[in-house]
Amino acid sequence: MQHRPLFFSFRDAFRGMGYVLRTQRNAKIQCGIGTVTLIAAAFFRLPPRDWALLALTITAVLAAEAGNTVVETMIDEISPSPSEMARIAKDASAGAVLLVAIGAIVVGLFILGPPLWKLVT
């Protein structure tokens, strides 16, 4: 197998994420929530460690969504007609995104909950 220049690998990766962000409604929602989260982190002047945890969590959710898009796209290509196995694969992939998203909510509540609570009380 011939090695391609590193530039092309990065170009293709950015193109793939661009596709996910342009075509997947949930990815757009997740980006919006991530942006609001980072704005709140800036507002509350959170320490760098909290920023790192939030950034890693947001990235994990978006990566899971990209993986889900891969699974759905491949299943649609391999099995264009409805099948039970295709449904199971798609549902399991969507479930993985849901688990990561729930984890992200928990992380967000632990980090942003206390300063938000102080703001409203």
The CB-side HSE value for 86 (13 A sphere, CA atoms) comes to 12
Establish whether 65 is a catalytic residue: yes
Q: Which of 95, 90, 104, 113 is nearest to 30 (CA)?
A: 104
Q: Choose, from 65, 72, 77, 84, the residue flagged as catalytic.
A: 65
In angstroms, rounded to a whole number, what is the distance separating the alpha carbons of residues 119 and 79? 52
- The residues that are catalytic are 65
